[in-house]
Structure 1
């Protein structure tokens, strides 16, 4: 099974599998029909406070990732993460984000956690 990350602005591809939007806010300029999002677990995204802290440049990516992982350990987020893990076990999953640099955003943390659980 595979987990991949794509920008939500990119057109859907046949091999995307389950398309999961992992941003708290709906991306500007993208219709729901064009995005073809299958799941949108808002509780899986970084809190507003953490997101603002990181985007304000107050800390390193490593500190952001550590704080985000702590948020993901909370019961609601952990349950949502388990749901995405189950989707990954069944087939390909594409995490969708509007982040310009997904490799240094919360999506990279999610991919690392999801891939660590794969057999």
Structure 2
């Protein structure tokens, strides 16, 4: 089964990262393109712009509803199946995100969602 891990874009790349996927819709603040190492930019599986903007208005109070709404977006997105097909050949995939919060960010929710999908596929 694929191991999916998380890492901030500002952390140095390591061989243990495997296939590095940038999972933010916007380019990370202060990051030069030449200094950022990633294999795929997966904008299509990030939260919609309106959902992202709403969440950032009040992250602490919007977290629970944001989590539910983002998972709903992921469940209805054809891009998720395409993304899973893309990453299946890699034993390790690292989702790269720019958020300062390691506990309240969409990449964490995306990892949980993908882990569940992969587990369900393996079980069937």
Q: Same fold (TM over 0.5)?
A: yes
Aligned residue for 2:11, secondary structure, equals: coil
Contact preservation (8 Å) 1:3, 1:88: no
Q: Who is 1:65 aligned against? A: 67
How far apart, in 2, do the equivalents of 1:6 and 1:88 lie? 19
TM-score if structure 1 supplies the norm length?
0.85
The alpha carbon displacement at 1:79 in A equals 3.2
TM-score if structure 2 supplies the norm length?
0.82
- C-alpha RMSD over aligned residues: 1.9
Contact preservation (8 Å) 2:45, 2:77: no
The alpha carbon displacement at 1:115 in A equals 1.7
Q: Who is 2:3 aligned against? A: 2
Runs of 4+ in 1 over 3 A off after TM superposition: none
Q: Deviations over 1:22-66 (max 9, x none)?
A: 000111222233221100111111011101111111743121111
For the structure 1 residues 87 and 21, does the alpha-carbon distance in structure 2 shift closer, same or farther, using more than 3 Å as the test?
same
Gaps of 5+ in 1: none
How far apart, in 2, do the equivalents of 1:77 and 1:65 lie? 18
Q: How many residues align?
A: 117
